[in-house]
Amino acid sequence: MVLTHLTIDAARSAVQERQTTALALAEAHYARIQKEDGQIGAYLTLCKERALEQADRIDRMAAEGKPLPPLGGVPVGIKDVMSTRGVRTTAGSKSLGKYIPPYDCTAVLRMEAAGAVILGKTNCDEFAMGSSNENSAFHPVRNPRDLNRVPGGSSGGSAAAVAADLAVAALGSDTGGSIRQPASFCGVVGLMPTYGRVSRYGLIAFASSLDHIGPLAKTVKDAAIVLRTIAGRDPMDSTSADLPVPDYTAGLERSARGLKVGVAKEYFGEGLDDEVRHAVESAIDKLKSLGCEVVPVSLPHTRYAIPTYYLIATAEASSNLARYDGVRYSYRAAGVKSLSEMYRRSRDEGFGAEVKRRIMLGTYALSAGYYDAYYLKAQKVRTLLARDFEDAFRQVDAIVTPTSPTAAFRLGEKSNDPLAMYLADIYTVTADLAGIPGISIPCGVTMDNLPIGLQILGKHFDEATILRVAHAYEQVAQIGS
């Protein structure tokens, strides 16, 4: 038994049955991090003392014969945009380089309550703004499948950690594709729940109406276990939905036969790499063989998604990041002689180029004389995008698309071309704008052995159906076996 190769179920069972210990699992992962992460860069901060204390608690439960919680002894990583009490939380930014939160993010609390052993905080694009994980203020993350390529972003550290067996599972955040796109690039499973399904309390905000927390995992079942753990109403987050949380694992084994799966032509047009197209079309054929009915659907406003997203997201980012002024806990420039100079220099020195770019775009979109022309219009188009999905879901149970138009690109390939970088999210931003759930699962590889992702989108709060379709495909494709 290779301890770093286990799934959530296998790890928990091994600890429960005393085939190993939670302590041994944690130590095995730390040893692998020590060996491999120097070249990958998936972690920013490790919290070994906290991890070993939790592992000891789980081992005592197992020794006493008590049933372990769903994540009992499972080593996980947490994206560094989620507050962790007593553990440095940077959001990948120099401005928060020394920030140590006094409280835990709700999702983190729920993970630990379910027995998870938190190994550390994973690297990310600064304030989750990026599609390649090259925008981290500390160091980029490299794709474990090819160290010369990006892992995707902004949850690249979480995806790389799972792909490289540096964690059994990890939490990421998704604002425009930041869970699903890195999952696709690294060949793992990435699930973005419906907006409101998981509390955002303790998540460092990028764009508050778009931010989601969700799992990255080795299998669909693992993603379902983590989602059930972190989902549910939280009084600390007024946007979290007061709805029952299903047992997402219970329906995984149900046949996908009879489900209607939509295919939108707008996701198979210009710019889609031929190898990605072939892999996704082959996956659709596999779904047909499983008894799914494939139905053509149209999402006509998709072509407006990228400009709509980059107006709304940047406007909200401009507002959210106004608090980082050097007064309270963010970076403060030294040797300043006036309040205005402190504000200006602290923000100039504390923020990276991409964050500054988005703040300026958002501030412009919200400024007097331009608000109606840009931000207000973008909100109206967002409504049209949501209606496209509502219309499509009257005909189908789920919609399948490519996750990304290409496989992982090379480090530095798009860093000087922001528009090309933004277009990497062309198939993912629509779900964030509409607030619907989506999952990316591996569906093949390119000739260069780079992973390709299949995206499955579902109705609001119907994560169970997309997990069911994803699991059925995973079994027939033998992904992750």
pLDDT tens for each residue of 433-457 = 999 999 999 999 999 999 999 999 9
480: pLDDT confidence band, cut at 50, 70 and 90?
very low
Please check the confidence at residue 227 and state whether its pLDDT lies above 60.
yes
Rounded CA-CA distance 254/158 in Å is 29
Rounded alpha-carbon distances, angstroms, from residue 190 to 222, 456, 467: 10, 11, 11
Q: Which residues contact 74 (CB under 8 A, 6 or more apart)?
A: 8, 11, 12, 25, 115, 116, 117, 168, 169
The answer to the question of residue 329 being in a domain is no
> Would you state the pLDDT for residue 233?
98
Interval 392-405: pLDDT, tens? 999 999 999 999 99
Whichever domain contains 160, its CATH number is: 3.90.1300.10
The answer to the question of residue 43 being in a domain is yes
Mean pLDDT of the chain: 96
The answer to the question of residue 437 being in a domain is no
Q: How many domains does the chain have?
A: 1
The answer to the question of residue 116 being in a domain is yes
- Contact status, residue 466 vs residue 431, Cβ threshold 8 Å: no
Q: Which residues are catalytic?
A: 79, 154, 178
The three state secondary structure string of 214-235 is EEEECCHHHHHHHHHHHECCCC
The answer to the question of residue 448 being in a domain is no
The proportion of the chain whose per-residue pLDDT surpasses 90, expressed as a percent, equals 95
> Would you state the pLDDT for residue 418?
87
H or E element at residue 389: helix 377-392
Give the structural domain span for 33: 3-230
Interval 104-114: pLDDT, tens? 999 999 999 99
The answer to the question of residue 169 being in a domain is yes
Q: Which residues contact 44 (CB under 8 A, 6 or more apart)?
A: 80, 88, 90, 92, 120, 121, 122, 123, 136, 138, 157
Tokens 């220099």 belong to residue:
345
Q: Phi and psi dihedrals of 370, rounded to 5? A: -120, -15
The answer to the question of residue 270 being in a domain is no
Nearest to 136 by CA among 318, 361, 317, 354: 354
The answer to the question of residue 109 being in a domain is yes
Rounded CA-CA distance 310/401 in Å is 21
> Would you state the pLDDT for residue 481?
39
Mean pLDDT of 245-272: 95
119: pLDDT confidence band, cut at 50, 70 and 90?
very high
> Would you state the pLDDT for residue 415?
84
> Would you state the pLDDT for residue 220?
98
Half-sphere CA count of 288, side-chain side, radius 13 A: 9
> Would you state the pLDDT for residue 329?
78
DSSP code, position 359 = H
The proportion of the chain whose per-residue pLDDT surpasses 70, expressed as a percent, equals 99
36: pLDDT confidence band, cut at 50, 70 and 90?
very high
DSSP code, position 150 = -
Rounded CA-CA distance 7/74 in Å is 9
Please check the confidence at residue 8 and state whether its pLDDT lies above 60.
yes
> Would you state the pLDDT for residue 420?
87
Rounded CA-CA distance 428/1 in Å is 37
